[in-house]
A and B are shown apart, each in its own frame.
Chain A
């Protein structure tokens, strides 16, 4: 069943084209991994899907669960079942993590899970801290995942959940992501789907994604088994890998 369909998507920021002719089709139960060099448009793609107003769609459409959401504001997309964990979320002084968590939990109908998930992610002591203020790299990632778990989205977007995270933290994060994406259930029983951006591929040790996609200069150029792609990237570099892919196409 359809979860997300990007059709000929073209995106610009401040009049500069950063994504062109992007097509992607994600079905329920599937997890995609998005690879690509710095500046290839990976984060921009997630920002566009979730509706960051800075990212203007000049071409194509975003279809979510069969509905064209290209023009919808972010909160409406989230209410329809999208969720994102940011790579570098802003610090918001005076706003407590718990206040945002309560909001997420209300929407995700997980109000009884706040404590349990906070414990799972080792964030119990951060609930009354100001949002992301003074959080370490790992704490930011865990806070993002905690918010996402409570939001309980059907379509999960994770922007580099494994970057700058130590070994101990990555195990916790990996477990949370597996839960979010229902990776421990058989395919036909899953109701979730997602896209994970990763540079290092570390997260693949914890989450056995179904497909890998390489974004290169604002376009989707390769698609295949994520583990094979990662191997190719480390062996041939992005450029080499992309050349091999194009030859195959």
Chain B
């Protein structure tokens, strides 16, 4: 495989392999760990199998946040590789850690990742998942996140698959007291199928923010959403998605469950269909007790002619005006995201812009 292609593909999902810009790096090529490096203290990165050998206690974390058992998770249980990333107690890992999963030749890439933000720590992870342009196959990724008391984990995932890839991530997050989990998901390149429904379990005063920007190109089916279970008092969740169909089919899900009083959740899904396509938005709110504050808004639309005309009256061509509006649509004001991650998201949006016109 040419190194050029690999480098190109990695860059498209924000993976730079540059020690100056990252605090750690992990690369999984098909089922094989190609690179593990860390550039700062307070951080631990290991291939998951090595980590399991090293720490007996890690077994307790396996299959705890991801409880779903389906045919895909079963396959991962039998054979897997992946990363173990851990921020030690009170460590502040501000410069992002990058983790890349690259699918090239195998029919199925089976991954199990564990991320732990120990008490009082802060960590930013950028995870880029991509494939060789001619690859065909399936990526099954189990990811379990543990955010301990007073810790904060920001996880930005950029997907850029090729047209013949099926992707089935299975993610779960447990956020302990006063912890915060911020997830950003960006999918702006073709894929055959993406199906996932990451779930966060929130303890007392814990928060989770899920933001997703998704484009479904022709022949793609993107069935994705986020779920938050507000288990204890003071917990809150915000789930925001922007989905664009450019000929593909999108199912934009969202589910917030209030299991305790005095919790707060907001769901916002907005969709835009360019020319043709299909979007099904399914926002669900579920309250199991009184004194909760749950809300949602969902809207699906098109680019208003009036907006295009307005920007053209400022001298933009029709294409420039359209691109500006689409860009605006994808602009989510993500709170608490470090500039380096925001840049990667912006870069991915820029790359996609041309494809969307």
Is B one of A's binding partners? yes
Interface, chain A (partner B; CB < 8 A) = 50, 52-54, 73-75, 78-79, 83-84, 86, 89-90, 92-95, 99-100, 103-104, 107, 130-131, 147, 151
B347 within 8 A of A: no
Complex Cα distance A73/B319, Å?
A: 12
Q: List 24 A-B contacts (CB under 8 A).
A: A52-B309, A53-B309, A54-B309, A73-B312, A73-B318, A74-B309, A74-B312, A74-B313, A75-B313, A75-B316, A78-B313, A83-B313, A84-B313, A89-B310, A90-B306, A94-B328, A94-B330, A94-B331, A95-B325, A103-B314, A104-B315, A130-B328, A147-B314, A151-B314
**How close is A41's CB to chain B, nearest CB, in angstroms?**
18
Interfacial chain B residues near A151, Cβ < 8 Å:
314-315
Interfacial chain B residues near A86, Cβ < 8 Å:
310, 313
- Are B329's CB and A93's CB within 8 A? yes
B contacts with A: majority SS: helix
Interface, chain B (partner A; CB < 8 A) = 304-307, 309-318, 321, 324-325, 327-331
Partner of B312, one of A75, A89, A95, A99: A75
Partner of A75, one of B317, B325, B329: B317
**How close is B228's CB to chain A, nearest CB, in angstroms?**
24
**How close is B38's CB to chain A, nearest CB, in angstroms?**
36
Partner of B329, one of A74, A94, A104: A94
User: In chain A, what residue has the closest Cβ to B321?
Assistant: A75
Interfacial chain A residues near B321, Cβ < 8 Å:
75
- Are A94's CB and B305's CB within 8 A? no
- Are A75's CB and B328's CB within 8 A? no
**Contacts A74-B309, A100-B324, A147-B314 supplied; 14 other A-B pairs, CB < 8 Å:** A52-B309, A75-B312, A78-B313, A78-B315, A90-B307, A90-B310, A92-B310, A92-B325, A93-B329, A93-B331, A94-B327, A95-B324, A130-B328, A151-B315
Interfacial chain A residues near B329, Cβ < 8 Å:
93-94
Interfacial chain B residues near A93, Cβ < 8 Å:
328-329, 331
**How close is B274's CB to chain A, nearest CB, in angstroms?**
15
**How close is A152's CB to chain B, nearest CB, in angstroms?**
11
Interfacial chain B residues near A78, Cβ < 8 Å:
312-315
Contacts A94-B329, A94-B330, A104-B314 given: A99-B324 contact, CB under 8 Å? yes
- Which 3 residue pairs across A and B have the least CB separation, nearest first? A94-B328, A94-B331, A95-B328
